[in-house]
């Protein structure tokens, strides 16, 4: 508990673990906050991470805390620049575990091109948390020449999906329940900043972006459709889902369209931009599986329908309740 008391033990923890990992000019000032210069339009977001277990196939809570926030900034058409990081630690957490999480955050920040410039640390009693909870907030400079938002989506616009669905939610669940599968399923947790910025830099008129975290593809499409005042039609046969992920979902009665992802997003563009936008996305490992999966049409706001291989159609609703809790 002394490590969260604001005294010598806390100062030593900051000096030994956090400052060396996140080293930059703003942290070196040891000020109450960070003073940054950001002229022009700015995007600002925050998220909290309570995933259990802390480490799972393909990623961990530290990496996700950085990628999740920079991805939210990218969805606003912004280049992520600065993050804050707030930690709530459970008394008795091994320092080796904390170091591993912090090192993951530092590596993810370098990969995403952001600086962690300020933060906070609290310690709660043993049994009051699951090791580590992390909150990150981020700011980024808006580089999109036009707003990237659901209000700009028009009937006829196409929906591009960046890759296969469902691996993050399945990876966390199998690690938590210690399930042994025939094949290893790793989380898709990753930064999507590079392909998004590439779309904007190449002059693609991106109408809207949405990452597919809690609620998955289904909830994202319903939300955009509602805000845009349009209906959406997608083709299930074109939506990539790995066979092992599909089999796991079928076993547990899950719909892959509802399962959370941490490195997948949809891009909505005009029909004439589909081919060029797809080519750009496929140049980056995180979005090399980009495909067009459907389009928006005039119709009831929020109505999303999916057609199957045999021509049947079903209504896709947003996730009701919590399908897989504590996955982010």
What is the rounded distance in angstroms from the CA atom of residue 178 to the CA atom of residue 208? 38
Q: How is 98-117 classified by DSSP, letter by letter?
A: HHHHHHHHHHHHHHHT-EEE
Give the pLDDT of residue 36: 92
7-24 pLDDT, tens per residue? 888 889 999 999 999 999
Question: Does 160 have pLDDT greater than 90?
Answer: yes
Q: Is the pLDDT of residue 324 over 90?
A: no
What is the model's pLDDT at position 111? 93
The full DSSP string for 234-292 is EEGGGS---HHHHHHHHHHT--TTTS--SS-EEEEE-GGGHHHHHHHHTTSGGGTT-EE
pLDDT tens readout for residues 234-292: 999 999 999 999 999 998 899 999 999 999 999 999 999 999 999 999 999 999 999 99
Please say if the pLDDT value at position 78 is more than 80. yes
Given a cut of 80, is residue 98 above it in pLDDT?
yes
- Give 36-74 pLDDT, tens digit per residue: 998 999 999 999 999 999 999 999 999 999 999 999 999
- Name the band, by pLDDT with cuts 50, 70 and 90, for residue 1: confident
183 pLDDT exceeds 80?
no
Per 3-state DSSP, what percentage of the chain is helix, strand, and coil (rounded to 5)?
35, 25, 40
């Amino acid at each position: 508990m002394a490590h969260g008391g604001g005294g010598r033990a806390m100062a030593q923890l900051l000096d030994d673990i956090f400052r060396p990992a996140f080293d930059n000019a703003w942290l070196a000032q040891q000020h109450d906050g960070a003073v940054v210069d950001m002229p022009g339009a700015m995007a600002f977001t925050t998220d909290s991470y309570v995933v259990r277990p802390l480490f799972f196939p393909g990623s961990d809570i530290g990496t996700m805390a950085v990628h999740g926030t920079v991805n939210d900034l990218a969805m606003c058409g912004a280049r992520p620049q600065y993050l804050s990081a707030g930690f709530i630690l459970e008394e008795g957490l091994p320092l080796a575990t904390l170091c591993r999480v912090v090192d993951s955050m530092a590596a993810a920040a370098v990969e995403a091109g952001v600086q962690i410039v300020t933060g906070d640390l609290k310690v709660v009693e043993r049994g009051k948390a699951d090791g580590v909870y992390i909150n990150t907030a981020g700011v980024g400079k808006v580089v999109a020449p036009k707003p990237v938002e659901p209000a700009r989506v028009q009937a006829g616009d196409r929906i591009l999906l960046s890759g296969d669905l469902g691996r993050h939610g399945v990876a966390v669940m199998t690690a938590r329940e210690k399930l042994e599968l025939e094949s290893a399923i790793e989380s898709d947790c990753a930064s999507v900043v590079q392909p998004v910025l590439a779309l904007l830099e190449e002059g693609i008129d991106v109408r809207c972006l949405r990452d597919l975290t809690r609620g998955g593809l289904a909830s994202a499409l319903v939300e955009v459709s509602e805000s845009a005042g349009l209906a959406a039609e997608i083709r299930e046969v074109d939506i990539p889902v790995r066979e092992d992920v599909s089999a796991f979902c079928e076993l547990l009665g899950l719909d892959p369209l509802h399962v959370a992802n941490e490195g997948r997003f949809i891009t909505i563009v005009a029909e004439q931009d589909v081919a060029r936008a797809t080519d750009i996305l496929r140049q980056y490992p995180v979005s090399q599986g980009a495909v067009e999966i459907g389009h928006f049409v005039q119709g009831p706001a929020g109505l999303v329908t999916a057609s199957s291989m045999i021509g049947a159609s079903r209504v896709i609703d947003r996730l009701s309740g919590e399908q897989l809790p504590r996955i982010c």
